[in-house]
Amino acid sequence: MDASELLDMAVADLALVQDLEQAQHIIRSAARRLANAHGSTVVLLEEGHCFYADEDAVSPLWKGQRFPVQQCISGWSMLNRQPAIVPDIQFDERVPQEAYRPTFVKSLVIVPMRVGDPLGAIGAYWIQPHRVTDEELARLQALAGAAGAALTRLMASPAPDMVGSGAIGILV
């Protein structure tokens, strides 16, 4: 399956998804493949924090952790409503080095979901310095657009299995 078919399938799946956990699975899996990355994350904006809700990576990253939005590269992307493109994390002051030091991540791109009023972000990570291509970035931004629409829909109309799961009302 080529990248355009994968993106089309992910967008179609997100249009029909009925619960947050499945949406996160679609997003993280598609992001990693669309960017040819070694890892991906789904980050949700939660009460001034970046909540690393889900991930698909060669080794654990930050799933389940929260970081202040002002001290996180995902937060930078959401606050500035634009992608954060970092070919080498060692040379970018926006990257909190202490959080990345124990991980495999050497390069990353973060794209906000729902750019006009971000509710989260998608991260893609590489094990070596990598300059994201225009095609990789465009695919991730298209995925982020579909993901933002799906999450907005899910937050507005909670499915019965989401009630009491902590998924309702977490986004600002």
> For residue range 34-63, what is the model confidence (pLDDT) as tens digits?
999 999 999 999 999 999 999 999 999 999
Is residue 172 over pLDDT 80? no
pTM of the model: 0.90
Q: Are 34 and 143 in contact (CB under 8 A)?
A: yes
Q: Which domains does the chain have, with CATH numbers?
A: 3-156 (3.30.450.40)
pLDDT number for residue 157: 76
Length of the chain: 172
Residues 118-142: b if buried by 16+ CB within 10 A, e if exposed: bbbbbbbbbbeebebeeebbebbbb
Q: Which amino acid appears at position 64 of this protein?
A: G
> For residue range 117-167, what is the model confidence (pLDDT) as tens digits?
999 999 999 999 999 999 999 999 999 999 999 999 998 875 554 443 433
When the pLDDT of each residue in the chain is averaged and rounded to a whole number, the result is 91
pLDDT band at 171 (very low <50, low <70, confident <90, very high): very low
